[in-house]
Amino acid sequence: MISKKLNNGISIPCIGFGTYKTTVDDGYRIILDAINTGYRHLDTAAIYNNEEEVGRAVRESGVAREEFFITSKLNRNRLGYENTKKEFEESLKKLQTDYLDLYLIHWPRSDYGRDDYDNWKELDRETWRAMEELQREGRVRSIGVSNFLPHHLDNLLETAETVPAINQLELHPGYMQEEAVAYCREKGIAVEAWSPIGRARIIKDPLLIRLAGKYGISVPHLCLIFGLQNDFIILPKSTHIESMKENLVYDDIRISDEDMETIRSMPEAGWSGEHPDRETVKPGL
């Protein structure tokens, strides 16, 4: 399994197993299948409501905890110093582990309409202070963020002692978030792609179908190789063992520089519609 060294010296597997909406039915079995297929990097979150299933699968897999890289994320509606400490302990309890490999702020703002929605700057800073303490205590090996754009990171870094190790963003052909990616690379923040296949929204794109045919692979596989060649950490997900296996194959095919640029330049496609600041626009405007 290929890995990447983060800005704090910790190594992370470049291919992880995303658990969002993969554990609605028989979640424990799906995660155990992923582990048996070869995944050691598991990505979960408090809001996914599957930390218990992830923890059970890890415990019952027969694989030592130290061989896993486990990520969880703080619920956007639980930002703040005290909440972060409390929610972190709850995640550890559900996962039945005494440490996390990576803990992320899931979104920079709480849900629109909450009283604390406009107080995101202070809440993010206080949340980060708590996470820095957890890292110094050895409770979490690396800390980072998710869905943070440059202005969110600017705010965090004004008071941070630790630069985030990772920023997890929606990234796939047709949605490259170039400004955010460039900012992260300038600051030494690794970029992790959620929805690297566009949640299946782009598998019928004619350009991607043509290029996948050229390399003799599927469109999802093309998207994953594209992500790796862009130096992204990728988080594919599947409930089917054969797809899980295919998603781990990465070293036998390389997309040409010309085709990489063609994919990077394709029109916007497959965006989920989720944006950290979208709700600042009043309904109807």
Assigned token pair, 15: 């291919």
Instruction: Give the residue ranges of DSSP H helices in 61-119.
Output: 81-95
Residue 160 CA, chain-centre distance (Å), reads 21
Per DSSP bridges, beta strands 3-5 and 11-13 are antiparallel
Assigned token pair, 184: 């992260």
pLDDT score at 200: 73
Task: Provide the number of structural domains found in the chain.
Answer: 1
pLDDT digits (tens, 9 = 90+) for 50-86: 999 999 999 999 999 999 999 999 999 999 999 999 9
Position 214 in a domain: yes
Position 254 in a domain: yes
Q: Are 165 and 8 in contact (CB under 8 A)?
A: yes
Domain extent, residue 261, equals 3-267
Q: Are 71 and 42 in contact (CB under 8 A)?
A: yes
Position 72 in a domain: yes
Q: Are 101 and 140 in contact (CB under 8 A)?
A: yes
DSSP secondary structure letters along 16-35: -EE-TTT-TTTHHHHHHHHH
pLDDT score at 282: 41
Q: Is residue 99 flagged as an active site residue? A: no
pLDDT score at 281: 40
Position 272 in a domain: no
pLDDT score at 134: 98
CATH code, domain with 55: 3.20.20.100
What is the three-class DSSP state of 193?
Answer: strand
Position 282 in a domain: no
Q: What gap in Å lies between CA 9 and CA 227, rounded to an integer?
A: 22
Choose, from 20, 28, 39, 48, the residue flagged as catalytic.
48
pLDDT digits (tens, 9 = 90+) for 213-270: 999 999 999 999 999 999 999 999 999 999 999 999 777 799 999 999 999 999 999 9
Position 146 in a domain: yes
